[in-house]
Amino acid sequence: MPREIYAYRCRKCGRLHYPYRMVCKGCGDNEHNEFDPVPLPREGTLLTFTELHNLPSDFEVPTLKLGIVELDGGLRITGQLDVAEPVVGMRLRGTVEVVRVESYDRRHGMVFREA
């Protein structure tokens, strides 16, 4: 099964959240586990980005491009960009990949490339 990153839909009011939260931001419902996971859409538009030159020590690359992407349907996500020349407003497509290796712990997240 391919890895997914999930949004969480409130069972009471239908509001989607990313990332996960314990209590719905829309209706305030706080019953335990009252959210359904929904895979995040993969395509969206670049809202803003940066190229980071001072990287945390887990990253063995000279620079790292990070961006906020407005996914189709309206949710936003922060992720890594594998794009030579990012431009605000460009269309991107995300895949779930290893984004950080922390003491042998492989963390998965969304990496975006030009759609």
Q: Which residues bind another protein (CB under 8 A)?
A: 18-20, 47-59, 64, 66-68, 76-80, 88, 99-100, 107, 109
Give the distance, in angstroms, between the CA of residue 100 and the centroid of all CA atoms in the same chain: 14
Cβ proximity to another protein: between 11 and 48 the closer is 48
CB of 83 vs another protein, minimal distance in Å = 13
Query: What minimum distance in Å lies between the beta carbon of 93 and another protein?
Result: 17
Q: Which residue has the tokens 């290893």?
A: 98
CB of 48 to another protein, least distance (A): 4
Smaller CB separation from another protein, 68 or 83: 68
Give the amino acid at 74: G
CB of 112 to another protein, least distance (A): 11
Q: Which is nearer to another protein, 59 or 91 (CB)?
A: 59
Tokens of 31: 């019953």
Which residue do the tokens 């989607």 mark?
Answer: 16
| C-alpha Rg value of the chain to the nearest Å | 16
Cα–Cα distance for residue pair 35/59, rounded to 1 Å = 34
Strands of 11-114, DSSP E: 16-17, 35-39, 43-52, 64-71, 76-81, 91-102, 105-114
